[in-house]
Amino acid sequence: MARRNGWTVALQREDQCCPHAAFVLGFVPGKGYLDGSYAEAVGLSPKERFSKLARHVSRLDFGKYNCMVVAPLQTTTFQPDVVVVYGNPAQVSRLVQAAVVMTGDVLTSTFSEGIACSALIARPMNTDMCQVVLSGAGDRYFALTQDHELAFAIPFSKIDTILDGLEIGHNAVGHRYPIPFSMRLEGQLPAAYYRLLELLNNEEV
């Protein structure tokens, strides 16, 4: 709604219909989620397998927040905890370059079977690190994320770093988007063409 319609949207526990998001946002205690028993009870997965996955899902502490507010960056009236940018792989790669050029550290992102809200929201907030995010089924089905799109989640504390990194990459080595094709190479033509050009250039006026 924020991305497509330009709306500011507030979401509380009673508004949440996705069990994964309710767990990730810390709206529920999640004991049965973590041990896999609830997933097994509804036929989603064997308890042990789901529990293994659940332990790798980043989440916000239970009860720390009672509401999530989302808005387009250009119209927001509050300071966000995380800024999420959607783009194609070439655009996201520019953001990755910007993130690492300022620190020299590699950017580490982890992936699971969907549950993109974990990487979009909880992981950047918990680690204060940027994340490359593959959209899950919900992000595609409900939020209309397209096949050519990735997401890049930026903790608000890293916004200036990303902007500085983009500027350095642009000015120092010419990184930009759209990425220019290399058209500076000498054309390789048949030998007869070079001989013909030589004759033309040496022709008397």
In a domain, 82, yes or no: yes
In a domain, 199, yes or no: no
In a domain, 186, yes or no: no
pLDDT digits (tens, 9 = 90+) for 56-89: 999 999 999 999 999 999 999 999 999 999 999 9
Residue with the two structure tokens 């808005």: 71
pLDDT digits (tens, 9 = 90+) for 173-202: 777 778 777 777 777 889 999 999 999 999
Residue ranges making up the domain that contains 59: 2-173
Best CA proximity match to 126, nearest among 61, 51, 31, 53 = 61
pLDDT digits (tens, 9 = 90+) for 88-117: 999 999 999 999 988 888 888 887 767 899
For residue 19 the two structure tokens come to 């069990």
In a domain, 131, yes or no: yes
In total, how many domains does the chain have? 1
- Distance between start and end Cα atoms, the chain: 71
Q: Can you give the pLDDT at residue 31?
A: 95
